[in-house]
Amino acid sequence: MQSWSNDEFTAQLRDVGRRKYHDKHPFHHLMNSGRLNREQLQLWVANRFYYQKSIPIKDAHLLSRCPLREVRRLWVQRILDHDGYGDDPGGIEKWLRLGEGVGLSRDDLDSERLLLPATRFAVDAYVNFVGSRPWIEGVASSLTELFAPDLMTKRLAAFEQHYTWIAPEALAYFRSRPPLATRDSDHGLSLVHAHCRTRDEQERAVAALSFKCDVLWAQLDALYDHYVRDKRMNY
């Protein structure tokens, strides 16, 4: 089969987000419409933290599999963004502060006592995927960042409107991510354009992004099942 042009390839990737990105999940709609109580929001923060703290581990796997120095030199910034460096506390620290803002202790998050088994399974599957697949497929899986700035902007507005009991400074993670996500998605897209030249390579990249969307969706399925299907929400 003939390979897609860069525009066609990008359109295929964006179509995955249009169909499968987790902003469409019912749990996300409940959260953004202000219909979660404090306990439910706490559980989302605690479970999402397991994903947040796994991101630099995932990226370290990708770096270990990438033979290209010029790629590694830029990609390593993603680890620093989450782990922190210099005066920047990093995304993981900002998420811990979000946890404190919703009434959780740091130990609540670090101990994983609120972590649902399905969340652990989904996140570990993502880390294992990047650690076992060709590095460019790991890059492609990160392209959920294409859709993140809009999601994060809407999430921040929803939290400020509906969850006014959370201190504004606890929402710093949401404010910091849109420009970083834009930077990272631009970089990732340039890499898949450069290194996925055959139709097979391009389709594998699309499949990797689809898998990542499934991972994000499964994390919200875990929360939705816990509260809705167990009759702990009356919606």
The predicted-structure confidence for 71-96, as pLDDT tens digits, reads as follows 999 999 999 999 999 999 999 999 99
What integer pLDDT is reported at residue 201 of this predicted model? 98
> What's the mean per-residue pLDDT of the chain?
96
The pLDDT assigned to 161 comes to 98
Is residue 162 situated within a structural domain? yes
Residue 227 confidence (pLDDT): 83
* pLDDT of 232 over the 90 cut: no
pLDDT at 230: 60
* 17, part of any domain: yes
235 occurs within a structural domain: no
70: in domain: yes
Q: Does residue 210 fall inside a structural domain? A: yes
CATH number, domain with residue 44: 1.20.910.10
**What are the C-alpha distances in Å from 204 to residues 37, 115, 131, 194?**
40, 31, 16, 14
* Domain presence at residue 179: yes
pLDDT reported for residue 63: 98
Structure tokens at 68: 């290209």
Please check the confidence at residue 157 and state whether its pLDDT lies above 80: yes
Is residue 234 pLDDT above 60, yes or no? no
At 175, which helix (H) or strand (E)? helix 172-195
In a domain, 1, yes or no: no
pLDDT band at 235 (very low <50, low <70, confident <90, very high): very low
Q: What is the per-residue pLDDT for 229? A: 64
SS (H, E, C) 15-79: HHHHHHCHHHCHHHHHHHCCCCCHHHHHHHHHHHHHHHHHHHHHHHHHHHHCCCHHHHHHHHHHH
Residue 195: pLDDT over 80: yes
pLDDT at 183 > cutoff 70: yes
Predicted confidence (pLDDT) at residue 211 exceeds the cutoff of 90: yes
Residue 49 included in any domain: yes
- Domain residues for 47? 6-229
What total of structural domains would you count in the chain?
A: 1
- Name the band, by pLDDT with cuts 50, 70 and 90, for residue 50: very high
Which token pair is 188? Answer: 């990732």
Q: How many CB atoms lie within 10 A of CB 100?
A: 17
